[in-house]
Homo-oligomer: A and B are copies of this chain.
Amino acid sequence: MRVLGVDPGLTRCGVGVVEGVAGRPLTMRGVGVVRTPSDEELGRRLVAVEQGIEAWLDEHRPDIVVVERVFSQHNVRTVMGTAQASAVAMLCASRRGLPVALHTPSEVKAAVTGSGRADKAQVGAMVTRLLRLDAPPKPADAADALALAICHIWRAPAQNRLQQAVTAHRAARPAAHVPPVRKGPTA
Protein backbone atom coordinates (compact mmCIF):
# COMPACT_ATOMS: atom_id res chain seq x y z
CA MET A 1 0.00 0.00 0.00
CA ARG A 2 1.36 3.39 -1.01
CA VAL A 3 -0.06 6.27 1.03
CA LEU A 4 0.20 10.03 0.49
CA GLY A 5 -0.16 11.83 3.81
CA VAL A 6 -1.13 15.51 3.74
CA ASP A 7 -0.80 17.84 6.72
CA PRO A 8 -2.93 20.65 5.31
CA GLY A 9 -2.01 24.32 5.51
CA LEU A 10 -1.91 27.34 3.24
CA THR A 11 1.54 28.62 4.18
CA ARG A 12 3.06 25.14 4.54
CA CYS A 13 1.23 22.00 3.43
CA GLY A 14 3.24 18.92 4.50
CA VAL A 15 3.28 15.96 2.11
CA GLY A 16 4.84 12.55 2.60
CA VAL A 17 4.64 9.22 0.79
CA VAL A 18 5.07 5.95 2.69
CA GLU A 19 4.86 2.46 1.27
CA GLY A 20 4.33 -0.77 3.18
CA VAL A 21 1.96 -2.99 5.09
CA ALA A 22 1.24 -3.28 8.80
CA GLY A 23 3.71 -5.43 10.68
CA ARG A 24 6.58 -5.00 8.24
CA PRO A 25 9.23 -2.27 7.89
CA LEU A 26 7.90 0.79 6.06
CA THR A 27 9.64 2.75 3.31
CA MET A 28 9.57 6.50 2.72
CA ARG A 29 9.10 7.33 -0.98
CA GLY A 30 9.15 11.08 -0.67
CA VAL A 31 8.62 14.00 1.68
CA GLY A 32 8.25 17.72 1.21
CA VAL A 33 6.21 20.85 1.70
CA VAL A 34 3.94 22.76 -0.67
CA ARG A 35 4.35 26.43 0.22
CA THR A 36 2.31 29.46 -0.83
CA PRO A 37 3.25 33.08 -0.06
CA SER A 38 1.10 34.59 2.72
CA ASP A 39 0.85 37.94 0.91
CA GLU A 40 -0.69 36.26 -2.15
CA GLU A 41 -4.43 36.44 -2.85
CA LEU A 42 -6.36 33.55 -1.23
CA GLY A 43 -7.70 32.16 -4.52
CA ARG A 44 -4.21 32.07 -6.02
CA ARG A 45 -2.84 30.32 -2.94
CA LEU A 46 -5.50 27.61 -3.33
CA VAL A 47 -4.51 27.19 -6.98
CA ALA A 48 -0.86 26.83 -5.91
CA VAL A 49 -1.82 24.17 -3.32
CA GLU A 50 -3.81 22.33 -6.00
CA GLN A 51 -0.84 22.38 -8.40
CA GLY A 52 1.48 21.17 -5.66
CA ILE A 53 -0.77 18.26 -4.62
CA GLU A 54 -1.36 17.32 -8.28
CA ALA A 55 2.40 17.14 -8.83
CA TRP A 56 2.80 14.80 -5.85
CA LEU A 57 -0.08 12.59 -7.05
CA ASP A 58 1.40 12.48 -10.57
CA GLU A 59 4.85 11.54 -9.35
CA HIS A 60 3.98 9.03 -6.63
CA ARG A 61 0.64 7.50 -7.75
CA PRO A 62 -0.55 6.65 -4.23
CA ASP A 63 -3.34 4.12 -3.57
CA ILE A 64 -4.94 6.40 -1.00
CA VAL A 65 -4.65 9.96 0.30
CA VAL A 66 -4.75 10.54 4.06
CA VAL A 67 -5.50 14.05 5.31
CA GLU A 68 -5.40 15.37 8.84
CA ARG A 69 -8.93 15.92 10.13
CA VAL A 70 -9.38 19.60 10.90
CA PHE A 71 -11.11 20.67 14.10
CA SER A 72 -12.61 24.09 14.54
CA GLN A 73 -11.62 24.37 18.19
CA HIS A 74 -8.06 25.07 17.04
CA ASN A 75 -6.69 28.58 16.63
CA VAL A 76 -9.52 30.50 14.97
CA ARG A 77 -7.23 32.50 12.68
CA THR A 78 -5.47 29.51 11.14
CA VAL A 79 -8.32 26.99 11.07
CA MET A 80 -9.98 28.50 8.01
CA GLY A 81 -6.81 28.23 5.93
CA THR A 82 -6.29 24.68 7.14
CA ALA A 83 -9.87 23.74 6.24
CA GLN A 84 -9.47 25.32 2.80
CA ALA A 85 -6.15 23.59 2.07
CA SER A 86 -7.58 20.24 3.23
CA ALA A 87 -10.57 20.75 0.90
CA VAL A 88 -8.18 21.17 -2.03
CA ALA A 89 -6.24 18.01 -1.09
CA MET A 90 -9.44 15.94 -0.78
CA LEU A 91 -10.75 17.40 -4.04
CA CYS A 92 -7.58 16.45 -5.95
CA ALA A 93 -7.73 12.86 -4.62
CA SER A 94 -11.46 12.30 -5.16
CA ARG A 95 -11.30 13.78 -8.66
CA ARG A 96 -8.90 10.92 -9.54
CA GLY A 97 -11.15 8.34 -7.89
CA LEU A 98 -8.66 7.81 -5.06
CA PRO A 99 -10.05 6.98 -1.61
CA VAL A 100 -9.56 9.65 1.05
CA ALA A 101 -9.11 8.87 4.75
CA LEU A 102 -9.04 11.33 7.62
CA HIS A 103 -7.25 10.87 10.93
CA THR A 104 -7.21 13.21 13.91
CA PRO A 105 -3.91 14.57 15.26
CA SER A 106 -4.30 12.49 18.44
CA GLU A 107 -4.92 9.29 16.46
CA VAL A 108 -1.72 9.97 14.53
CA LYS A 109 0.32 10.74 17.65
CA ALA A 110 -1.03 7.67 19.44
CA ALA A 111 -0.24 5.47 16.43
CA VAL A 112 3.40 6.50 16.08
CA THR A 113 4.39 7.32 19.69
CA GLY A 114 1.88 5.42 21.85
CA SER A 115 0.53 8.68 23.29
CA GLY A 116 -2.19 10.91 21.82
CA ARG A 117 -0.57 13.88 23.57
CA ALA A 118 2.98 13.47 22.26
CA ASP A 119 4.80 16.62 21.17
CA LYS A 120 6.25 17.48 17.75
CA ALA A 121 9.75 16.36 18.72
CA GLN A 122 8.52 12.92 19.80
CA VAL A 123 6.54 12.48 16.57
CA GLY A 124 9.58 13.55 14.55
CA ALA A 125 11.83 11.13 16.45
CA MET A 126 9.49 8.17 15.90
CA VAL A 127 8.99 8.97 12.20
CA THR A 128 12.76 9.05 11.83
CA ARG A 129 13.12 5.68 13.55
CA LEU A 130 10.19 3.95 11.86
CA LEU A 131 11.29 5.01 8.38
CA ARG A 132 15.00 4.50 9.16
CA LEU A 133 15.93 8.07 8.19
CA ASP A 134 19.19 9.81 9.03
CA ALA A 135 17.47 12.82 10.61
CA PRO A 136 13.93 14.01 11.41
CA PRO A 137 12.28 15.50 8.32
CA LYS A 138 12.01 19.30 8.49
CA PRO A 139 9.80 21.27 8.83
CA ALA A 140 7.46 19.58 11.36
CA ASP A 141 4.65 19.68 8.76
CA ALA A 142 6.62 17.28 6.56
CA ALA A 143 7.20 14.88 9.50
CA ASP A 144 3.50 15.11 10.38
CA ALA A 145 2.52 14.15 6.82
CA LEU A 146 4.70 11.01 7.09
CA ALA A 147 3.20 10.23 10.52
CA LEU A 148 -0.29 10.44 8.98
CA ALA A 149 0.67 7.94 6.29
CA ILE A 150 2.23 5.56 8.85
CA CYS A 151 -0.84 5.86 11.09
CA HIS A 152 -3.07 4.92 8.19
CA ILE A 153 -1.03 1.87 7.18
CA TRP A 154 -1.06 0.60 10.75
CA ARG A 155 -4.71 1.33 11.44
CA ALA A 156 -6.02 0.04 8.10
CA PRO A 157 -6.01 -3.69 9.03
CA ALA A 158 -7.87 -2.98 12.31
CA GLN A 159 -10.35 -0.79 10.45
CA ASN A 160 -10.84 -3.45 7.81
CA ARG A 161 -11.44 -6.11 10.48
CA LEU A 162 -13.87 -3.80 12.25
CA GLN A 163 -15.67 -3.10 9.00
CA GLN A 164 -15.85 -6.83 8.25
CA ALA A 165 -17.23 -7.51 11.73
CA VAL A 166 -19.87 -4.79 11.31
CA THR A 167 -20.83 -6.14 7.91
CA ALA A 168 -21.01 -9.71 9.21
CA HIS A 169 -23.08 -8.59 12.20
CA ARG A 170 -25.50 -6.66 9.97
CA ALA A 171 -25.80 -9.63 7.63
CA ALA A 172 -26.45 -11.99 10.55
CA ARG A 173 -28.82 -9.82 12.58
CA PRO A 174 -31.87 -9.48 10.31
CA ALA A 175 -31.95 -13.25 9.81
CA ALA A 176 -32.60 -13.69 13.53
CA HIS A 177 -35.78 -11.60 13.26
CA VAL A 178 -37.03 -13.14 10.05
CA PRO A 179 -39.35 -16.09 10.54
CA PRO A 180 -38.10 -19.39 9.16
CA VAL A 181 -38.73 -19.72 5.47
CA ARG A 182 -41.73 -21.89 4.84
CA LYS A 183 -42.09 -23.67 1.61
CA GLY A 184 -45.12 -22.19 -0.13
CA PRO A 185 -47.29 -23.61 -2.83
CA THR A 186 -44.99 -22.35 -5.56
CA ALA A 187 -41.87 -23.96 -4.07
A interface, CB within 8 angstroms of B = 41-44, 46-47, 50, 70, 72-73, 76, 79-80, 83-88, 90-91, 93-95, 100, 102
Contacts and interface: CB of A to CB of B under 8 A. Distances in A.
Contacts of A76: 72-73
Contacts of A85: 87
Q: How many copies does the complex hold?
A: 2
A41 B100 contact: yes
Contact of A47 (B43, B84, B95, B102): B95
A123 B98 CA distance: 41
Contacts of A102: 42
A46 B92 CA distance: 9
Given A72-B72, A72-B76, A76-B73, A43 B83 contact: no
A90 B72 CA distance: 21
A91 B47 contact: yes
Contact of A46 (B44, B72, B80, B94): B94
Contacts of A83: 79-80, 83-84, 87
A90 B45 CA distance: 10
Nearest to A91: B46
A73 to B, nearest CB: 7
Given A42-B102, A88-B88, 9 more contacts: A43-B90, A43-B94, A43-B100, A46-B90, A50-B91, A50-B95, A72-B80, A85-B87, A91-B91
